[in-house]
Amino acid sequence: MISEKAKNIKPSATLEINRKAKELKAKGIDIINLSVGEPDFDTPVPIKEFAMQVIRDGFTKYTDTAGIRELREAIAEKLETENGLSYSPSQIVVSNGAKHSLYNIFLSILDPGDEVIIPAPYWVSYPEMVRIAGGVPVFCKWDKNFKIDMEHLKALLNKRTKALILNSPSNPTGIVYEKEEIDSIAELLIEYKVLCISDEVYEKIIYDGKQHISIAAHSPEMKRLTVVVNAVSKTFAMTGWRIGYIAAEKEIVDAVNKIQGQTTSAPSSISQKAALFAIKEGEKLYSDMVREFQIRRNFLVNNLPQELFFPVPMGAFYLFFSYNDMDSMELGKRLLEEKFLAVVPGAEFGADRFIRISYATDMKNLEKTVERLSEFVKENK
């Protein structure tokens, strides 16, 4: 009864581990869930109050497939003022979260056998979405800074290459690409006329004065080759509202809109209005959250056992570590069973020997995490 395609899809590891952690917690076990890929903060009150008024006002019907015009106008203005990118509302499609936006893109650009280069370590869903859309995921190595190995990228580019996925700030490492690095990648993609799918959902969760730079801002030519993907999910702690969006050339946008029209249609009308309010209000709704994430990041970086190896995260809310070159599946299993820490094995991100932990949890849990990891290291030297 089940298609071969469905049989071959791997379940989302992060969602499965989160489910297991909740199951153990329900049994009374003191599990610290470090697998979560969403802010632990509630959606800001002004957004919720605005959404409730939207419901009372009766804005509860279908909207235009691409999203309400006011929201697309606000996104266009945000891209112009914050990212230096000029898009018209007709070049923007609002979808049911950035994951949905990405899937729409793959369905729009990929023919069977087309290759998509995915730099490791990568977000767990990229390869599976490419496969579902009929494409072939091709994995690029990382360099000593956990960024794209440029020599390997050059070696991978060929006539079947359709796109490169760029994720900065990165899930799972928290690394952020500098302007010079972005420029080098852009120049190579322009040379080979390869699309860039730029996943920028963590752009506002960034530390130490770093700046997010969209590869689309490199040049008019690179902008034409880029599909910008973003969402309100992480920035405004609105993961459950399911609003993401793309900005791209009209040809791609029209294809995405057509696919969305025959699948989900428009996202929730209420969520769209809430997203419009959030984007217009801007930084004052998320600045406190970002400051708190930086405090947590600093605590972990300064207090985790020295035996753990990790790049210092400059964005997002993850820390990616290895210990004693241990297999990530085995290490993850032991941390759950022996120390009651729910983590995500790096094998799921294309980086075995590493573990991803999320610091989207309170300081009390992070203090316990440091304690338990320190105990584990002492017991396994």
**pLDDT grade, residue 178 (50/70/90)?**
very high
Instruction: Give which of 168, 148, 147, 162 is closest to 215, Cα–Cα.
Output: 168
Q: What is d(CA 115, CA 118) in angstroms, rounded to the nearest whole number?
A: 9
pLDDT of residue 9 exceeding 90, the answer is no
User: Which domains are assigned to the chain?
Assistant: 4-42+286-379 (3.90.1150.10), 45-282 (3.40.640.10)
- Residue-level pLDDT at 367: 99
Query: Would you state the pLDDT for residue 280?
Result: 98
CA 10 distance to own-chain centroid: 18
Q: CA–CA separation, 186 vs 125, rounded Å?
A: 24
Mean pLDDT across the chain: 97
**Which tens digit of pLDDT belongs to each residue from 85-141?**
999 999 999 999 999 999 999 999 999 999 999 999 999 999 999 999 999 999 999
Q: What is the 3-state secondary structure (H, E, C) of the chain?
A: CCCHHHHHCCCCHHHHHHHHHHHHHHCCCCCEECCCCCCCCCCCHHHHHHHHHHHHCCCCCCCCCCCCHHHHHHHHHHHHHHHCCCCCHHHEEEECCHHHHHHHHHHHHCCCCCEEEEECCCCCHHHHHHHHCCCEEEEECECCCCCECHHHHHHHCCCCEEEEEEECCCCCCCCCCCHHHHHHHHHHHHHHCCEEEEECCCCCCECCCCCCCCHHHCCHHHHHHEEEEEECCCCCCCHHHCCEEEECCHHHHHHHHHHHHCCCCCCCHHHHHHHHHHHHHHHHHCHHHHHHHHHHHHHHHHHCCCCCECCCCCECCEEEEECCCCCHHHHHHHHHHHHCEECEEHHHHCCCCCEEEECCCCHHHHHHHHHHHHHHHHHCC
The model's pTM: 0.95
Phi, psi torsion values for 180, nearest 5 degrees: -65, -35
Residue bearing tokens 């249609």: 265
pLDDT at 16: 76
Average pLDDT over residues 61-84: 99
Q: How confident is the model over 218-239, as pLDDT tens digits?
A: 999 999 999 999 999 999 999 9
